[in-house]
């Protein structure tokens, strides 16, 4: 694999290459399967640690604090909020986009973790967001 790097001081570098993804098998694992199957049913699925009660989003297989395997999956019904976001004004080639694109990290109350998604509307920190599409990548709308 070779890496061609272009760019100059003060500008972002771009890497052009081909990922050899077809040579590897990647699975989302048992917890990821719960999460993505939930999305197909318009649900956010987290996993709940039986020892400390923490809920992880997306669902994961082990509690990072207790080091115990998680076997319980729960649907999250609370509205997410915008934890952080970035605004994209240009495409990969530097061409100005007609409408800026927001990429946001959404989190849910009383849970650990979060989900990166596309956001639209009056995107701002801490604002409540409504999931408008559960198709991956998720889309949220902020009023």
Site for Zn ion, rule CB under 5 A: 49, 51-52, 63, 65-66
Nearest to 57 by CA among 86, 27, 77: 77
Q: Looking at 6-143, list the stretches that DSSP marks H as alpha helix, in order from N- to C-terminal side.
A: 29-40
Kindly state the smallest distance separating residue 31's Cβ from Zn ion, in Å: 14
CB of 71 vs Zn ion, minimal distance in Å? 12
Cα 141 to Cα 122: distance, rounded to the nearest angstrom: 8
Pick 33 or 64: Cβ nearer Zn ion: 64
- The CB-of-94 to Zn ion minimum distance in angstroms stands at 45
Other CB atoms within 10 Å distance of the CB of residue 73: 17
Contact 69, 118 (CB under 8 A): no
Instruction: Give the nearer residue to Zn ion in terms of CB position, either 52 or 97.
Output: 52
Q: Which is nearer to Zn ion, 54 or 107 (CB)?
A: 54
């Amino acid at each position: 694999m070779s890496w061609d790097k272009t760019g100059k001081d003060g500008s972002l570098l771009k890497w052009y290459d081909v990922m050899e993804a077809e040579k590897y098998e990647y699975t989302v694992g048992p917890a990821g399967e719960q999460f993505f199957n939930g999305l197909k049913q318009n649900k956010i699925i987290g996993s709940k640690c039986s020892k400390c009660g923490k809920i992880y989003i997306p669902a994961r297989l082990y509690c990072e604090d207790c080091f115990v395997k998680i076997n319980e999956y729960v649907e999250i019904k609370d509205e997410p909020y915008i934890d952080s976001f970035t605004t994209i004004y240009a495409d990969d080639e530097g061409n100005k986009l007609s409408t800026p694109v927001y990429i946001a990290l959404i989190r849910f109350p009383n849970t650990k973790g979060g989900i990166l998604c596309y956001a639209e509307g009056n995107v701002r920190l801490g604002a409540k967001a409504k999931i408008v599409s559960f198709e991956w990548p998720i889309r949220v709308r902020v009023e």
